[in-house]
Amino acid sequence: MSESALPPLLTLVGPTAVGKTDFAIRLALELNAEVISADSRYFYRGMDIGTAKPSLSERQGVPHHLIDVAAPDETWSLGQFRLAALQAIDEIHARGRLPLLTGGTGQYIRAVTEGWSPPEIVPNPALRQALEGLAETHSPYWLHDKLNILDPEAAARIDPRNLRRTVRALEVIFSSGRLFSRQSAFSPAPFRILQIGLTRPREVLYRRVDERIESMFQRGFLDEVRGLLAAGYSSSLPSMSAIGYREAAAVLGGQMSLEEAIAQMKRLTRIFVRRQANWFKVSDERIHWLEAENASARETAAWARAQLLLPGGVKQGSPAS
């Protein structure tokens, strides 16, 4: 099948706090699109303020997919996400609309755009329990260091705080005898893909991160975490590894002051922003980068419509970058 005959897929990427949520909604309204979230933090119900999840009012008028699809004690793997995202894309195409895949989790975006097929190794509960025990004895960072020794490429792709993914990578390595980073198969994605990225100067991103974190607590983040703990969701759950939840739980438990938690969250989020830059490189020619401060949803939509050969497209230069 020629590329022009493939169904279209638009992606919008960029770091935390760059403004993807608002811009995605405005693009979707211009393009008759539906949004598919590729943010692993948005899967979990009841985890709204701490993940900066788009609110119900923000989602009004634009269908969103793969948000609030699991309870905090459920686990969504990369493979589950990929299959669910592909199904959502097919259903959106069937409705005659454009799928807009957006998020800050680079691995989830690439699983769709690059046709990743994660390794299918049968779970080994005993091995998994042993690895989790080592992490509890030493720390998740200690276990991540061991992964870095065995498979540096896999370790570079996994946040050291994400114990579930560290354990899974080691489980696959020990079960198969092969590097985790070498076991994902790739096949061309069956879409006509256009990738747009939003960027801001690093110091502006850091300021927006700081403002977001302070606003979270003003909007009731501690109450959100208190409710999750009261519902029986432990702060040690993989879902709670999202920055802020364990810090907030420590505040509620008296192990950390509010000021210490806010400072820790700001520090960790800045590290996360730098890690995202390794997934979404400004030098990546597959991504058309826009300065978020000056980006026009209407101009970008007109350009995207032409690039994707959508009805109503008018060939023109690319939007201001």
pLDDT, one tens digit per residue, over 90-148 is 999 999 999 999 998 888 898 899 887 666 677 788 898 899 899 989 988 999 999 99
Band (pLDDT 50/70/90 cuts) for residue 277 is confident
Band (pLDDT 50/70/90 cuts) for residue 184 is low
pTM recorded for the entire structure: 0.81
Q: Which of 5, 31, 206, 158 is nearest to 102 (CA)?
A: 31
Q: Is 143 exposed, middle or buried (0-12, 13-18, 19+ CB in 10 A)?
A: buried
Band (pLDDT 50/70/90 cuts) for residue 225 is very high
Q: How far apart are CA 80 and CA 89, in angstroms?
A: 14
Structure tokens at 58: 């923000």
Q: How far apart are CA 55 and CA 32, in angstroms?
A: 20
User: Nearest 5°: CA angle at 32, between 28 and 33?
Assistant: 50
Q: How far apart are CA 186 and CA 197, in angstroms?
A: 23
Higher pLDDT: 153 or 95? It is 95
Q: What is the pLDDT of residues 17-61, one digit of tens each?
A: 999 999 999 999 999 999 999 998 999 999 999 999 998 888 988
Domains of the chain as residue ranges with CATH: 3-118+186-307 (3.40.50.300), 125-183 (1.10.20.140)
What is the rounded average pLDDT for all residues in the chain? 90
Q: Of 7-21, 226-240, 301-315, give the lowest mean pLDDT range.
A: 301-315
